[in-house]
A = this chain, B = another copy of it.
């Protein structure tokens, strides 16, 4: 796809219908490029705020006729450049399509528009005693979360977006609006288009409606925190808890570097040792039993200073440290650029992977605090780099590539939850080889003009 694209013609064709909801304002455009990570921003030519699926279909049809790229945009919190416009084009900002269309309390499901954020959704669900569990950290939109197959802290118990989307409505590259499934909790109706669009990063269609699985807010919640003598001990305790079959809702690791950063950030005074932070959901009796089992398991791995709480405000206080981790880490090196790794390995290799990665970062002189959704074998290193040093940036990217290869050598993946976007295309090909050619064939079959978020995944 070549510039110059026919943006004047697109504008002319769309303006009558979209009016002030179409803009080429440079500030607005720059706000609609990648802003959340190391990937350099590439703004679109136009930003459009559709309000209905029919408007999205109209924009897609016009862009199809003129061969102009379309980039769907939610909260802009993706970290691999998924919202960039490397070939220019039209950004579809979906945030005005943010309604809850239906809550099915008896069916434990709901239907929402893609622009609603997870916090807004959970607020809308709360008085029905329901919640949507996927929590990637950022207050992302549900459309974006589906498109990047988001997961985060609750995935160990509740799965990822692939497990919690029942059905989608989407505008396909030819401008038609389809439904991928109905509201049944399971279905065997041919190819799983729902799961194909989840994780497709907007390259196969624009999600305009989601039907989501919900869960009852647990009767009881407790949070526990404990410290370990080493990162290996923390990982091994995490693995043992999963193998024991504890139905943990969250299990987060923070390494000693991260704990130190959090202490500096908010004066928490925690011992600067690796931490596991764990959340239990269930009936009061079941939560108490889980907690007791957890205590017994982690004590075998040298856990100390175990604190457990169940009052909501106390739980939030313990979680605050994890929520602060990203900002605290950035503060370790003011003005730095953070490159976030995202490998995920089989649990049996987690301890070794975390430990080898830490040693290699240290050998290279890289500052890289580590946090992890360790119940899934997924961890992030925030590699803090000098944005003005080309050599340091190269060192950081080379380290990330080495770490991706290490994970692959352990039968793991370069990306547990951040997706491919612009940043991991080489890693994807190294990881899945010929499989990527079948992905390309699907892309070409469904989007022969290549207008849907070009330059992502492939």
Name A residues whose Cβ lies closer than 8 Å to a Cβ of B: 104-109, 148-149, 151, 155, 159-160, 162-163, 172, 176, 178-193, 195-196, 198-200, 204, 215-216, 218-219, 239, 242-245, 247, 282-283, 285-286, 289, 342, 344-348, 376-378, 407-408, 411-420, 424, 428, 431-436, 438-439, 441-446, 457
* Chain B, Cβ-Cβ closest to A416: B186
Contact call A182/B289, Cβ cutoff below 8 A: no
Contact call B192/A108, Cβ cutoff below 8 A: no
Q: Which residue of B189, B192, B344, B419 is within 8 Å of A413 (Cβ)?
A: B189
Contact call A159/B149, Cβ cutoff below 8 A: no
A-B pairs with beta carbons under 8 Å apart, 18 shown:
A106-B346, A107-B347, A107-B348, A160-B186, A180-B435, A181-B413, A182-B408, A182-B411, A182-B431, A184-B345, A184-B376, A184-B416, A185-B347, A186-B344, A188-B419, A193-B439, A216-B243, A445-B445
> With a CB–CB cut-off of 8 A, which chain B residues contact A148?
188
> With a CB–CB cut-off of 8 A, which chain B residues contact A244?
216
Contact call A189/B445, Cβ cutoff below 8 A: no
Q: How far is the CB of A404 from chain B (nearest CB, A)?
A: 11
Contact call B346/A187, Cβ cutoff below 8 A: no
Contact call B435/A446, Cβ cutoff below 8 A: no
Besides the known contacts A149-B192, A190-B420, A192-B199, 15 further A-B residue pairs in the complex with CB atoms under 8 A apart: A106-B239, A155-B186, A184-B411, A184-B413, A185-B347, A186-B344, A189-B424, A190-B457, A191-B439, A191-B443, A216-B243, A286-B289, A441-B446, A442-B442, A442-B445
Give Cα A195–Cα B438 distance, bound, in whole angstroms.
14
User: Which of A160, A163, A180, A182 lies at the interface centre, i.e. has the most chain B CB atoms within 10 A of its CB?
Assistant: A182
Q: Which residue of B104, B162, B441 is within 8 Å of A192 (Cβ)?
A: B162
* Chain B, Cβ-Cβ closest to A285: B289
User: Which of A148, A149, A245, A444 lies at the interface centre, i.e. has the most chain B CB atoms within 10 A of its CB?
Assistant: A245
Give Cα A362–Cα B176 distance, bound, in whole angstroms.
41
Give Cα A140–Cα B208 distance, bound, in whole angstroms.
38
Q: How far is the CB of A177 from chain B (nearest CB, A)?
A: 8
Give Cα A249–Cα B215 distance, bound, in whole angstroms.
17
Q: How far is the CB of A343 from chain B (nearest CB, A)?
A: 8
Give Cα A181–Cα B428 distance, bound, in whole angstroms.
10
Q: How far is the CB of A424 from chain B (nearest CB, A)?
A: 8
Contact call B185/A344, Cβ cutoff below 8 A: yes
Give Cα A93–Cα B436 distance, bound, in whole angstroms.
28
Contact call A187/B347, Cβ cutoff below 8 A: no
Q: How far is the CB of A186 from chain B (nearest CB, A)?
A: 5
Give Cα A434–Cα B176 distance, bound, in whole angstroms.
8
* Chain B, Cβ-Cβ closest to A456: B190
Give Cα A344–Cα B412 distance, bound, in whole angstroms.
35
> With a CB–CB cut-off of 8 A, which chain B residues contact A199?
188, 190-192
Minimum-distance CB pairs A-B, first 8 = A445-B445, A195-B195, A106-B348, A184-B344, A183-B411, A187-B413, A107-B346, A184-B413
Q: How far is the CB of A81 from chain B (nearest CB, A)?
A: 14
Contact call A438/B198, Cβ cutoff below 8 A: no
Give Cα A151–Cα B446 distance, bound, in whole angstroms.
29
User: Which of A283, A415, A433, A438 lies at the interface centre, i.e. has the most chain B CB atoms within 10 A of its CB?
Assistant: A438
Q: Which residue of B162, B176, B285, B378 is within 8 Å of A285 (Cβ)?
A: B285
Give Cα A187–Cα B378 distance, bound, in whole angstroms.
9
> With a CB–CB cut-off of 8 A, which chain B residues contact A414?
189
Give Cα A113–Cα B16 distance, bound, in whole angstroms.
59
